Structure 1
Amino acid sequence: MLPVIKKAGRLLASERRMTINICHVGYNEHKPIFDDVIDSLRSAFCRLGVPHRYSLNYVDPGAINLMIGHVSFIEKRELPPGGLKNTIIFQLESLTEGSLLEKCPYYIELLRQATQIWDYSPTNVAFLNSQGIHTAIHVPIGHDPILERIDHVENRDIDVLFYGAKMPRRTAILQSLINAGYKVEHIFGVYGGKRDGYIARSKIVINIHQFDKQVVEEVRLSYLLANRCFVVSEVADRDPYDGGVVFVPYDKLVETCAHYLNPASKAERDRLAERGHQAIQAYPFWRGVRAALLAKGGFPQLAQERAEWGQYWTTPA
């Protein structure tokens, strides 16, 4: 059961200018899965000069609340009084057929209540529009220097790494790689520096969808590209990375990994990892955040404060 989302108490005098409250919705040991995006978000707000603060399961009645995390598991009875007025939901789930909407049918109604939705996927935005929800804005999970934190080891002892929930279609690929003689690591519930340690030791990080049809997992891939990782991914709805990720069909994942694990392919792995890093750098995260804050129909009260927010509000998009 998710903790009831609470309203904040009386603010201290030093906090009254806080414009945006980042409300991290988390209810179990997996809440750190969103930490990388939250770090990027806070960095973007700092770069833009936007006053903000971070809270866990806490709604501030005097601020614009940006809810991020396990929002899809919130039930109606757990909402604060007043619902989601003056609220942004940063929507980070896949909304394709067979996704969590079947498990969490209330989620779509929750999204309808938000003043604004930020979504990482144009495919998701189109789906929301088809459901009569026209408050969604595309905010790609781009690059932020704060994410560049992995020091790769020289002699990497893990051939293929996958991190994420154990699902039959994922396990089948990983087992095939093990059967072919490769050293494979599958981790789940491992976050932060411990996860980064596994990544640093891996020649390939593989991305396998949870469902048969799924949008590209930008949250995972953007972090890997920021850290110059070589990634093989199951093909998705689009390739936003200019060839910096090797996208192949599900039934080609094993043979593609085998090809790039050939010692003769190391230079190619390094070249593509650098290409992916350059591709993600071309999409600074703060630009998408700025565009969302400037969007019409959002929060006109912000217009009074933008003049004080710094040079990034006049930098060309």
Structure 2
Amino acid sequence: MTKFAVTIVTLPGNPHWQAFREVAETVYIALRRLGHDCVLTQEVDIPGRKHIIFGAGPSQDRTIASDTILYNLEPIHPESTTVDDNLLALFRAYQVWDYSLSNIAALKRHGIQNVRYVPIGHVPELERIPVAAEQDIDVLFVGGINHRRMMPITALQILGVNAQTYFNVYGLERDLLYARAKIVLNLHSFAAQPFEIVRVSYLLANGCFVVSENADATETTGLESAVAFTDYSRIVDTCMRYLAEPAERARRAQAGRAVMRARSAVEYLRRIGDADISTEPNAR
């Protein structure tokens, strides 16, 4: 079996590396379950290990081996502030995994052909959001805030709904907020953004009820019974409806957990095959 290092790149003063944590942990656990020797690390150049890197940027180009896999979790879209020509150039030089079919299509339009679809999967260890004694937050959004995201939240607040937003919270602090929320909102930062399955998968696995802005059907197939999808213009109405329907929220939350349990990360990685992940690491 191959020796792996699942790496989350961290930069001084930037806490947002933690946005990659749950998916990186999932890959790490799944590889170990497949029998591979694997470590979870912040190092990009451990000798004798094949690296799967989350959060790689151009600054890593001279420090990572040629057989490294870059797992992209960024939306590939003209309005994205995290994707530029330098990052695309890095992707051209390495094997890329991506969670989104629409991302992959966009990468191929940029001439990046060495990309594989690796969906966001489930491992039982990530079912870890604690149960709150009381759900005292009506509607919760956690993530970067811009005018587009703030508009429906402000409208809910005007209606007297306890709608709260948080940014730069991760780990247990964030999970305790999720546990207190009757509804967790998923809103795109910009129109036509790929569906935020990275965020939503963790919520569903932990039995949280999610209201989400509609997204490309290729990204959301199979989630219809779990997530309350709606047009952006109807976010407020949809939240108001489900706040009045606790039994339906509970039903969908249960369905979401079942959906994610059926999406085994172990099986996703097994299907990729030995040719893609089990080559010997290059000498460093």
The runs of 5 or more residues in structure 2 that have no matched partner are: none
What code does the residue aligned with 1:46 have? R
- State the distance in 1 between where 2:235 and 2:254 align: 21
Cα deviation, residue 84, structure 1: 4.8
- State the distance in 2 between where 1:151 and 1:299 align: 34
**1:45 equivalent in alignment to 2:45:** no
Cα deviation, residue 299, structure 1: 5.1
Contact 2:183 2:239 in 1 (8 A): yes
**Largest Rg, 1 or 2:** 1
Contact 1:68 1:89 in 2 (8 A): yes
1:171 aligned residue: 150
Which residue of 253, 258, 275 maps to 2:255? 275
Contact 2:61 2:90 in 1 (8 A): no
Which residue of 205, 226, 236 maps to 1:254? 236
**1:187 equivalent in alignment to 2:169:** no
What code does the residue aligned with 1:145 have? P
Contact 1:23 1:56 in 2 (8 A): yes
Percent of residue pairs identical: 36
- State the distance in 1 between where 2:278 and 2:33 align: 21
SS at match of 1:41: helix
What code does the residue aligned with 1:31 have? W
1:59 aligned residue: 45
1:301 aligned residue: 279
Cα deviation, residue 150, structure 1: 1.6
1:85 aligned residue: 66
**1:129 equivalent in alignment to 2:108:** yes
- State the distance in 1 between where 2:80 and 2:225 align: 27
Task: Output one character per residue of 1:239-295: Cα deviation in whole Å (capped at 9) or x when no partner.
Answer: 131421111111110110011111xx110111111111111111111211222343x
**1:266 equivalent in alignment to 2:233:** no
SS at match of 1:160: strand
1:7 aligned residue: none
2:9 aligned residue: 25
The 3 A distance-change label for structure 1 pair 293 and 92 is: farther
Contact 1:139 1:288 in 2 (8 A): yes
SS at match of 1:93: coil
What code does the residue aligned with 2:105 have? A
What code does the residue aligned with 1:111 have? F
Contact 1:97 1:213 in 2 (8 A): no
The runs of 5 or more residues in structure 1 that have no matched partner are: 1-16, 303-317
Task: Output one character per residue of 1:176-232: Cα deviation in whole Å (capped at 9) or x when no partner.
Answer: 111110001211111111111111110000001111111111110000000011100
SS at match of 2:129: coil
- State the distance in 2 between where 1:163 and 1:90 align: 23
- State the distance in 2 between where 1:266 and 1:47 align: 37
Moved more, 250-259 or 148-157: 148-157
Moved more, 196-205 or 119-128: 119-128
Contact 1:39 1:146 in 2 (8 A): no
Moved more, 45-54 or 195-204: 45-54
Cα deviation, residue 301, structure 1: 2.8
**1:289 equivalent in alignment to 2:269:** yes
The 3 A distance-change label for structure 1 pair 30 and 42 is: same
Root-mean-square deviation over aligned CA pairs? 1.9
| TM norm structure 2 | 0.91
Contact 2:44 2:51 in 1 (8 A): no
1:214 aligned residue: 193
Question: How many pairs does the alignment contain?
Answer: 275
1:229 aligned residue: 208
Cα deviation, residue 129, structure 1: 2.4
The 3 A distance-change label for structure 1 pair 84 and 125 is: farther
Moved more, 55-64 or 270-279: 55-64
Cα deviation, residue 132, structure 1: 2.7
- State the distance in 2 between where 1:75 and 1:142 align: 27
- State the distance in 2 between where 1:153 and 1:23 align: 32
Matches within 5 A, 1:101-120: 104-114=84-94, 116-120=95-99
Moved more, 129-138 or 192-201: 129-138
Contact 1:242 1:276 in 2 (8 A): no
What code does the residue aligned with 1:32 have? Q
- State the distance in 1 between where 2:196 and 2:130 align: 23
- State the distance in 2 between where 1:44 and 1:300 align: 14
The 3 A distance-change label for structure 1 pair 188 and 153 is: same
SS at match of 1:59: coil
**1:96 equivalent in alignment to 2:77:** yes
